[in-house]
């Protein structure tokens, strides 16, 4: 069954077998000028362009145009397709290109005041499943964000480390202020959450080191924290979110402390650490 066809049963229930006010082809053409309209979303608009469920209001075509015309201002989320609001402070959107990594067509929610990739809440793999969740009366905004999920997966990986990976005990919270005052090292909350679970890691097979907090240092005018070293990749740094148009908490690898901008992006810090732990487990 196609994603569009999968909508029919849930829409039949939501519309009680009837038809709402469908969008016209002219509406859809204007919407396409602002942002792509994926097939399942198009099917929804052709059934009811004013679908309303408590906690969810589909954008009318004119609002769809207005919101998506401004996508360039949404930073990390500028390629997402925004299609509804929560009748409060948030938007629902479709990741049509799988830029966030959970699959093309996945549905997310984000607070309009926190338009960052780590702040989005994953809801479901398709529009049909998303609407089914709403039909059940579940508030889809209450799940963990992508950033929180990354920390949770990292914490779970620490519970069962392979023999070639050593983790140091968690850092003392007071050490964060000391590092900022004495060394100008200002870490994000998410990077701090990693250290509160393991204040340093050593991957024996790769001879890769994630330093404890007292060995970390700031470069790039404090916008990158050097958090470790890898014999092959070079220095390992974590971004603060106000450098080189990169999101916060991205692990980068570079060879020259004076030019971290010449390095490569490895991914979200906690996710990369979890990947390396699992990689060591397979060896």
Which segments of 51-198 are extended strands (E)?
52-53, 56-58, 81-85, 90-95, 106-111, 121-124, 165-167
> How far apart are alpha carbons 67 and 82 in whole angstroms?
7
| pLDDT score of 235 | 98
Name the residue range of residue 70's domain. 3-143
Residues 139 and 153 in one domain: no
| pLDDT score of 2 | 45
Residue 201: give its domain's CATH number.
3.40.1580.10
Helix pair 127-135, 39-47: axis angle to 10 deg: 50
Residues 200 and 239 in one domain: yes
How many structural domains does the chain have?
A: 2
Residues 134 and 234 in one domain: no
Residues 28 and 86 in one domain: yes
Whose CA is closest to 61, among 30, 87, 90? 30
- pTM beyond 0.85: the answer is no
| pLDDT score of 76 | 85
Q: Which of 98, 125, 143 is the last residue before a domain boundary?
A: 143
Token output for 204 = 């024996």
- Residues whose CB falls within 8 Å of the CB of residue 100, separated by 6 or more in sequence, listed in order: 106, 108, 117, 120, 122, 146
Residues 38 and 55 in one domain: yes
For 245-256, the pLDDT digits (tens) are 888 899 999 999
Residue segments in the chain with a per-residue pLDDT below the cut of 50: 1-2
For 86-104, the pLDDT digits (tens) are 999 899 999 999 988 889 9
Helix (H) or strand (E) holding 209: strand 208-210
């Amino acid at each position: 069954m196609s994603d569009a066809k999968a909508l029919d049963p849930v829409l039949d229930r939501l519309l009680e077998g009837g038809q709402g006010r469908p969008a016209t082809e002219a509406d859809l053409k204007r919407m396409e000028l602002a942002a792509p309209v994926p097939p399942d979303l198009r099917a929804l608009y052709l059934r009811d362009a004013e679908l309303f469920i408590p906690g969810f209001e589909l954008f009318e075509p004119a609002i769809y145009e207005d919101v998506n015309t401004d996508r360039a201002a949404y930073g990390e989320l500028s390629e997402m397709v925004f299609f509804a609001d929560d009748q409060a402070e948030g938007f629902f959107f479709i990741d049509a290109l799988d830029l966030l990594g959970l699959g093309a067509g996945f549905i997310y929610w984000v607070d309009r005041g926190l338009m960052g990739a780590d702040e989005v809440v994953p809801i479901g793999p398709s529009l049909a499943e998303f609407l089914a969740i709403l039909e059940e009366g579940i508030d889809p905004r209450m799940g963990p964000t992508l950033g929180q999920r990354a920390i949770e997966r990292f914490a779970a990986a620490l519970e069962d480390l392979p023999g070639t990976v050593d983790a140091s005990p968690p850092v003392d919270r007071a050490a964060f202020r000391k590092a900022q005052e004495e060394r100008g090292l200002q870490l994000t909350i998410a990077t701090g959450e990693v250290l509160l679970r393991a204040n340093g890691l050593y991957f024996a097979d790769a001879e890769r080191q994630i330093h404890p907090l007292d060995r970390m240092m700031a470069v790039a005018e404090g916008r990158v924290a050097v958090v470790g070293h890898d014999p092959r990749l070079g220095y390992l740094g974590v971004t603060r979110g106000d450098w080189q148009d990169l999101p916060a908490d991205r692990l980068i690898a570079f060879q020259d402390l004076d030019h971290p901008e010449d390095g490569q992006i490895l991914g979200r810090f906690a996710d990369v650490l979890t990947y390396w732990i699992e990689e060591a487990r397979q060896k």
